[in-house]
Structure 1
Amino acid sequence: MLRPMHHADLPLDPPSRPKASLPPGACDAHVHMLADDYPLWEGRVEDPAPGGLEDWALRLERHLETLGLARAVIVHSILYGGDNAVTVDAVSRLGDRARGIGLVRDGATDAELDALAEAGVMGVRLNYVHGGILTWEGVRAMAPRLAARGMHVQMLMNAHRHMEDLAPQVREMPVPVVFDHIGWPDLGAGLAEPGFDMLRALVAEGTALVKLSGAYRLSDAPYDAAAAHVDALVRANPEGCLWGSDWPHIMLADAKQPDAGRLLDAFLDVVTSEAARRAILSDTPARLYGFPQP
């Protein structure tokens, strides 16, 4: 039975202001767009909170303005399955401030990939944690066609469960592979856990990138339980890291609704170097997503 999102699941609007200003061109590299008037995927686990695209786009703009962010990457939500219309329309509405990450099925046609690329969608996502409609085998087969369009692969997985099998194949991919949510590690297993150590090695060698996002899914506020893992990845290669809020924090499961301003503060507490902050927030997003260099 589908569970409609309750009012309490709405994101804080606006979030708290962060403790420090951000570099020019700073990007929230992981947000989702919702709208209750777009077709929903029959396999979804919840419905979006109320509001049309215009309502949610205005909420996103308040989110970005409050946090001091100039750009956003809208990651298509599994709530809408392989119909990318809500994400494509949101990218169009925000213009050059936004790029997209789409969701396609195994065997997506050239015409489908062309349409996404022309709409500012810079990659496709698959999900090892919640499942979905795209498999690792499918995206590996698709990778040369993604490379031809300047697109990449984004993936949600658990480092401690999946990285040992994935790492050799990631090294063979002809496109960048971006891992979400700090690799969604087992924090209790520590930094030496083999899967996380493999993720750190991939980031260090420039084979993969990682989003320093989703800390609220790993621990409750103030999110310092993930600090050592964030620090390890940044020390491995700040140019292989991005930051994202995961706004508007859908499919919470056991996690609590976070304050995106406090999530950004947790990042700033760990990453104190201005050069590293600029690389993570501005330079790497510009390079990966095709934004003008700030």
Structure 2
Amino acid sequence: MDKPDALMPPTPQAPLRRAPEGACDAHVHLMAGRGEFPLWDGRVENPAPGPDLDGWLKMFRTQCDTLGVSRGVIVHSILYGTDNSVTVEAVRRMGAGFRGVGLLADGASEAEMDQFVEWNMAAVRLNYVHGGVLSWDGAKAMAPLLAERGLHIQMLCHADQHMTDLAEDVRGLPTDVVFDHIGWPKDALTTQSAGFQALCALLAEGKAWVKLSALYRMCPAPYTQADPLVAALIAANPERCLWGSDWPHLMLADAEMPQAADLLDAFDRVVPDDRTRARILVENPAALFGFGASGKE
């Protein structure tokens, strides 16, 4: 069966306030042209037709320049399955200030983890919502070996459905766990669910990180319905929050294509002060991803 094409992201617009010097977009994906890198047979859509990898990188650099971002984290897209090569190449071409998040399967070897380090990967991704090649049990078993290599776990889950079951395991892991998309509450945008409260508790204890990203997947622009959740996460521990655009906004389903500037403006609307803004956009990603450290940037 033919698969639909993803939509092209919009031409970037300037935010109300440019991001500060050294700011990081901690969650983006990079595509390539048809035939450049093998696509996964199980994907639900194709990359938007047209640009090759260089073309996508040019668009991404334009967006970074428009927002004021100079660092980034390229998260491997499931459209390419377990073949991380498009993400590895994108990280390589972007150069200093950029790192990757890739896929490893349950039972991955130490040699495969060593290869991740050589590729300038920062983490392995676990999709607890849709499943995939890495299970939670597999990630827990892998965690000590990841920690030895300075790698962490990035996880997509529905906080309101899953976090109460995950929290104690997260507390006991020897490596960092980063939760995508404000914990992606599924049933309602409320701070009062036991799962969201568990996520806030993990942040407060310094046991987890969260990306303030992908609000457009949960509510319409200007994303004010998500303000209380973003504010609660920042209040729980601003030193464990990151910001990401989720560009180029793949697998939209029922969501509307966002403008990345609006997503940065939504973050700015909630962040309490310039010091906290700089911490989340600059200092936190520098600490987690090693920007500026020898061999990383």
TM-score range, shorter chain: over 0.9
Mapped to 2, the partners of 1:2 and 1:174 lie a distance apart of: 43
Structure 2 residue 30 is matched with structure 1 residue 33: yes
Say which SS state the counterpart of residue 11 (structure 1) adopts: coil
Mapped to 1, the partners of 2:188 and 2:41 lie a distance apart of: 35
Deviation at 1:21, TM superposition (A): 2.6
Deviates more, 1:256-265 or 1:131-140: 131-140
Q: What's 1:230 paired with?
A: 230
Q: In structure 1, what residue type is equivalent to 2:24?
A: C
Query: Cα RMSD (Å) of the superposition?
Result: 1.4
1:8-48 CA distance string (max 9 Å, x none): x11012x1111113222100000001113210112111111
1:194-226 CA distance string (max 9 Å, x none): 000000000111100000001000001111110
Shift in alpha-carbon separation, 1:60–1:97, aligned structure 2, 3 A: same
CA contact (8 A) 1:31 1:248 kept: yes
Shift in alpha-carbon separation, 1:2–1:129, aligned structure 2, 3 A: farther
Say which SS state the counterpart of residue 27 (structure 1) adopts: strand
Runs of at least 5 residues in structure 2 that lack an aligned partner in the other structure = none
CA contact (8 A) 1:222 1:266 kept: yes
Deviates more, 1:173-182 or 1:39-48: 39-48
Give the alignment's TM-score, normalised by structure 1.
0.96
Q: What's 2:104 paired with?
A: 104
Structure 2 residue 77 is matched with structure 1 residue 77: yes
Say which SS state the counterpart of residue 211 (structure 1) adopts: strand
1:158-204 CA distance string (max 9 Å, x none): 01111011001000110000000000014736211100000000011
Deviation at 1:141, TM superposition (A): 0.6
CA contact (8 A) 2:160 2:187 kept: no
Deviation at 1:120, TM superposition (A): 0.9
Q: How many residues align?
A: 291
Q: What's 2:275 paired with?
A: 275
Say which SS state the counterpart of residue 14 (structure 2) adopts: coil
CA contact (8 A) 1:155 1:177 kept: yes
Mapped to 2, the partners of 1:63 and 1:129 lie a distance apart of: 29
Runs of at least 5 residues in structure 1 that lack an aligned partner in the other structure = none
Q: What's 2:138 paired with?
A: 138
Give the alignment's TM-score, normalised by structure 2.
0.95
Q: What's 1:11 paired with?
A: 9
